[in-house]
Amino acid sequence: MFTRGTLIYIAQRIVLIGFTVLVVSSVVFLGIHRLPGDALFNEKVRGAAYIALLHQYGLDKPLYVQYWNFLVGVVTRGDLGESLVNRGLKITPLVVRELGVSAEVGGMALVFTIGLGLLLGVFAAVRQNTWLDYALTTTSVIGYSMPNFVIAAFLILLFGVWLNNVTGGTFYYQLGAWHGDLGQLWLPAFALGFPYASIVARLTRASMLEVIRQDYIRTARAKGLRESVILVRHALRNALIPVITILAPLIIGIITGSVVIENFFGIPGLGKEFAQSILNRDYAIVIGVFTMYAAMVGAANLLVDLAYVVIDPRIRY
Amino acid sequence: MAVASAARAVEFELPPQQSLWSDAWRRLRRNRFALIATVYLVFLVAVALVSTVWTPYRMSAIGVAETYSPPSAAHLLGADPLGRDLLSRLMVGSQVSLIVGVGTQVLVLLVGVPIGLLAGYYRGWLDNVVTFIINVFYGIPDVLVAMIMVFLLGPSLTNIIIAIVATRWMDMARLVRGQALSLREREFVEAGRAAGAKPFKMLFGHIMPNAMGPIIVQATLGIPAAILFEAFLSFLGVGVQPPTPSWGSMANEGVQAIQYAPHIVIAPSIALSLTLMAFNFLGDGLRDALDPRSRR
């Protein structure tokens, strides 16, 4: 499956990802340090104490020295520095912990997206031009026209306020536990995944319609196979290939969507940290989280490209 | 003899030749969803225009109603946490959404179309450079880039539009590049070149008009994406700054009070969803109307 060429390709891509991450974090670093004022601007410390603080964080050095120290820290120790607002908070462990939380919510959203999208898409294709098909196609336009926070708001209203809670009314995500409470997790995951499920459904429907008209499906029918076997084993497998092409933008969409959803539900993940650090003007964390995001997106793109090789043996790198 | 005259009769019944645009317009009118969407959008533009000169209450006037009060005869949509009239704010919010949606796409057209035309028509190193830049931009999550840009530039309507354009121009450039790549091989381009048309005339007089259909569809579908973007940014508090209302920031205010005053979050949410839906239906309708081959 993975030939030598593929391995070389993977290596190249990893180098490229590293390069992109470096460029992105540099741009953010330099852009942020161009802003007027400094991180201690609001702290009402003046005189010697102020200079001592600046020195402690290395902010009194020239910009290129700061940048060099930042780079050396990132490359050699994976150290993204310290928070400037919450004194003494190391950013790397923080970001790694939050990444775990985000991955859990995002992973579940992805399961929703793909599961629901495939199911609806196949149903719409099989019952083409019936009321079910029209209902599903119209719903999918509505689905991707609703911002995820609107879906989240209506879900909370429906379950939290009107039906008076499945989740105990709270969306507090337990810290320390290695995974969240599933009962709390499915609402945010659904709100995050639903808009993309509509897109997957549309695409699955279109490509299923194309595939089920082909001769090999007629042959399978003629052999007397059960309809469910034909649909899943013969048709869906080939209908999946165009669906995989949107998997990469889908994952990126879920990552960015999580910024909104995590803030909405108060989930202590990477997305919440990103928005909060921007609002708090905590430059060090902004740079750290953004670097993390760039790496994640690069990795997601690479994984999707490798998924092609697994599913379609004709594709080689 | 009879056969020949019958054949001629059939020939005479052929409809008169129609241009692409009148043909498309006829198909669009038959699409019920697209038509309803158009009516809604005309209504929305009217609301936005009216709200520049008149709203039931001043949108920033605090305490014209009891805070958090539900819909009533005096305040049709109720009041927000500061006692401001929700309907007035919703009306003014439509301005922000429309300006961001349309303004972004105008800029995207101005940036994306020339770049795409140049890259697709001249190919070579120019194309390689453009494609590389497009791929780099695609590799970075757009909302995050926009947040960083607004953060660096400062939150204002203009900066939000710039930030959205910076993350959206690639869609248009890529589309136009693809169109130009295929159109440049056609005979009419060769004829134009043989007749001595200047490069500018070639790009904007011959190639661009022939790619107009997909460009219009892409621009229409880009509008809801931009509106959604602005709503995201405002929802997170890095978008349009108070007291200017944006549907995104209004929804954010409503979320805090969702338990006892759900109308505050419901009103902007519905306005936002309807608007996005209308643009999406219109874009889909235009796609079907302008490209008869892609009939669903």
Q: Is A163 on the interface with B (CB under 8 A)?
A: no
Of the candidate ranges A33-37, A134-138, B77-81, B234-238, the one whose mean pLDDT is the lowest: A33-37
Residue A313: predicted pLDDT:
65
ipTM, 2 dp:
0.75
Q: What is the pLDDT of residues A203-244, one digit of tens each?
A: 888 888 888 888 888 888 888 888 888 888 888 877 787 777
Range of weakest confidence among B9-18, B98-107, B227-236? B9-18
**Structure token digits, residue B95:** 């301005």
Q: A259 contacts in B (CB within 8 Å)?
A: 143-144, 147, 232, 236
Task: Please state the rounded mean pLDDT for residues A105-115.
Answer: 88
Mean pLDDT score of chain A, rounded to an integer?
78
Q: Which of residues 55-114 of A touch B (CB under 8 A)?
A: none
Share of chain A above pLDDT 90, in %: 0
What percentage of residues in chain B have a pLDDT greater than 90? 15
Using the Cβ of B238 and the Cβ atoms of chain A, whether some distance falls under 8 Å is answered with yes
DSSP code of residue B17? P
Q: Please indicate whether, in this complex, the C-beta atoms of B235 and A256 are within 8 angstroms of each other.
A: no
3-state secondary structure of A174: coil
Residue B186 pLDDT? 87
Summarised one tens digit per residue, pLDDT across range A160-206 is 666 665 554 444 445 445 455 666 777 888 888 888 888 888 888 88
What are the pLDDT digits (tens) for B130-146?
A: 888 887 777 677 777 78
Main-chain phi, psi angles of B272, to 5 degrees: -65, -50
**Confidence band, pLDDT 50/70/90 cuts, at residue B1:** very low
Residue A309 pLDDT > 80, yes or no? no
Most confidently modeled range among A44-48, A127-131, A189-193: A189-193
Residue B145 and residue B162 in contact, taking contact as beta carbons nearer than 8 Å: no
- Distance from C-alpha of A92 to C-alpha of B278, rounded to nearest angstrom: 44
pLDDT of residue B189: 87
For A317, B118, B264, the CA distances from B256, given in Å and listed in that order, are 50, 49, 9
Token representation of residue B68: 């958090």
CB contact under 8 A, A297 and B273: no
B200 vs A44, which has greater pLDDT?
B200
pLDDT > 70 in chain B, percent: 92
CA distance A5 to A189: 38
Whole-number Å distance between alpha carbons of A108 and B122: 46
* A274 contact B CB<8A: yes
Task: Output the pLDDT for position B249.
Answer: 85
In whole angstroms, what is the distance from residue A81 CA to residue A161 CA? Answer: 42
For chain A, say whether B213 makes contact (Cβ under 8 Å).
Answer: no
pLDDT for A285 equals 82
